[in-house]
Amino acid sequence: MRIVIGAVGRMKTGPERELAARYLDRADKAGRPLGLGPVEVREIGESRADRAAARKDEEAAGLLAGLPERSAIFVLDERGETPTSEDFAGHIAAVRDGGTPTLALLIGGADGHGEAVLAAARRRIALGRLTFPHQIVRILVAEQLYRAVTILAGHPYHRA
């Protein structure tokens, strides 16, 4: 199952991008034998619209553009559920085992997600009740994706 991380905003070259890339490379290599991968990152620019609602709508259209029709969409949303790492791994495995060709993990912009993304979401996931900068969210999603792969592989990286 292909995995796409769609994000509003672009990460600049630097340690944050390198750390996220390191986790995604690990997830990709460890995930392929489990039927998870390739992992792809798609970045879209932030909307310049005047109103927050219009910005969210434009960004939602950009995040959804190009995703295969039968994609399972998990959105990062501060009002979402807060699964454990084991739960997150189980959600990913269930999507894979259900025959879905693509899992999309979508990270919204500063205003949150537009209605089109929220309506398409199979799951809304919060990384906790704290607010994080965009770059940190990307790193956390990459790390949790790698952690999910290791959990599914029975690898000792994750110790409960």
Indicate the annotated binding residues for S-adenosyl-L-methionine: 76, 108, 127-132
Amino acid occupying residue 97: D
Provide the b/e sequence for 33-49 (b: ≥16 CB within 10 Å): ebebbebebeebebbee
Name the binding residues. Answer: 76, 108, 127-132
Residues of the chain by 3-state class (helix, strand, coil), percent to 5:
45, 20, 35
In order of 32, 55, 85, the CA distances from 28 in angstroms are 6, 32, 18
